[in-house]
Amino acid sequence: MTLHREGTVILIVWFIILGAIASIIYWLFSNNVWIYGIAFGVCLILFLLVAQFFRVPRRKVTLEDGVVVCPADGKVVVIENVHEHEYLDREVKQISVFMSPLNVHVNFNPISGVVKYFKYHPGLFLVAWHPKSSTDNERTTVVVEDPQGRQVLYRQIAGAVARRICWYVKQGQQVEQSEEFGFIKFGSRIDIFIPTDSEIHVEIGQKVQGSITRLATLPK
């Protein structure tokens, strides 16, 4: 387990702030071990809580052609047919994974292939489960086409707390399944859009792991 590079500046700033608070409390209550001990403990817990947002797990993954793996840790909150308007412009199956503040926040490519489309959308910060968060919130849209011509669209969505989306892919780039493609600071959600005749392997409410859980198998 390591810490993600996106957390470096935040953790340094957080360490300085909490260190300053602990120093002030020590200066004010240096003769009271209990008060200082409790304050130091609270500062340490707060630092560790922020640090856990940026943990990067070590995972053994298996690449599977035609299989869509989960792009994030979290819980499946949506499985339904929708019309995707931004790029695919057809009815597709949507699977949404909600990332809580306790989940790993690294995002992984669900399939291997070429990035056919990428776009960043500035927007609002509605709560991640709001019906309009998928279209109105700050978000990115990525479409990857595999060697068989099958396309999967996936979308990072910021929420009320998550206000910083990071991505590491661009249009025309070759990407590999289970490879890191982005990061959402402090959680939120990812929507995955696949053909309607795909075989689904998860259900509503199921806890899933990024780069490991098989979401679906694409039609041949």
Which amino acids are annotated catalytic?
188
The bridge status of strand 113-121 relative to strand 139-145 is antiparallel
Collect all residues with Cβ–Cβ distance below 8 Å to 32 and sequence separation of at least 6.
none
CA atoms within 13 A on the CB side of 75: 9
Collect all residues with Cβ–Cβ distance below 8 Å to 40 and sequence separation of at least 6.
22, 25
Rounded-to-integer distance, Cα 73 and Cα 107, Å = 8
Q: Are 152 and 195 in contact (CB under 8 A)?
A: no
Tokens of 5: 């590079």
**At 92, is the secondary structure helix, strand, or coil?**
strand
Tokens of 100: 């809580």
Q: Are 169 and 141 in contact (CB under 8 A)?
A: no
Residue type, 52: Q
Nearest to 150 by CA among 94, 66, 93, 80: 66
